[in-house]
Amino acid sequence: MKVLLLNGSPHKQGNTAIALEEVARQLATEDIDSEIVWIGNKPVRGCTACRQCLTKGLGRCVFDDDICNSISARFKDVDAIIIGSPVYYGQPNGALLAIVQRAFYSNSANIAGKPAAAIAVCRRGGATATFEALNMPFQMLNMPVVTSQYWNIVYGHSVGQASLDIEGMQTMRTLARNMAWLLKCTNGKPAPGRAAEEPWECMNFIR
């Protein structure tokens, strides 16, 4: 079984990477494979709501000039996903949000129902708001949200300081153990035994 760890920081080896690497090390001790994918620091498109990914049945975003579809293509071959982001103005990195929104919307069939978790890395504040925002897409796609002993938050400002957050690092290891436990319980199958879904009843408030 394999977990995709998405590094949503523009800094490849920053504090977000430290948090994700702690998770990856613990997953390895649980015999769970993982891959850390960095979103990079090049420009990323936001969703234009063209819906061509759905109307044309592409299974990917119609725009293919950034890293979004490369990340989305990995969904089929992984059993779970963990998304880490630094906190910017009390929110996740904007580039990461753009990728998540486009990838999850265009390729939901290959990620829905798989366990997921979010990690927020901050200097001081805004972590809980970031953590909540990152968890929102999981809940829309019936993805079991994996918990830890605390909210998945790590503190650090200068590069390397995250490793000094003793409780934060412990929270990362606990998250990894809980993820491994759930994957083993479900044998890596998306939401096994889940009741059949009802047809979606979409209701807009303005008709």
The pairing of beta strand 80-88 with beta strand 33-38: unpaired
- Predicted pLDDT of residue 53: 97
Residue 192 in domain: no
Range of the domain at 69: 2-186
Secondary structure of the chain in the HEC alphabet?
A: CEEEEEECCCCCCCHHHHHHHHHHHHHHHCCCEEEEEECCCCCCCCCCCCCHHHHCCCCCCCCCCCCHHHHHCCHHHCCEEEEEEEEECCEECHHHHHHHHHHHHHCHHHCCCCCEEEEEEECCCCHHHHHHHHHHHHHHCCCCECCCCCCCEEECCCCCHHHHCHHHHHHHHHHHHHHHHHHHHHCCCCCCCCCCCCCCCCCCCCC
- Predicted pLDDT of residue 195: 62
Domains contained in the chain, number: 1
Q: Residues 75-127: pLDDT tens digits? A: 999 999 999 999 999 999 999 999 999 999 999 999 999 999 999 999 999 99
pTM of this prediction? Answer: 0.95
Residue 45 in domain: yes
Residue 191 in domain: no
Residues of the chain with pLDDT > 70: what percent? 97
Q: How confident is the model at residue 190 (pLDDT cuts 50, 70, 90)?
A: confident
Residue 92 in domain: yes
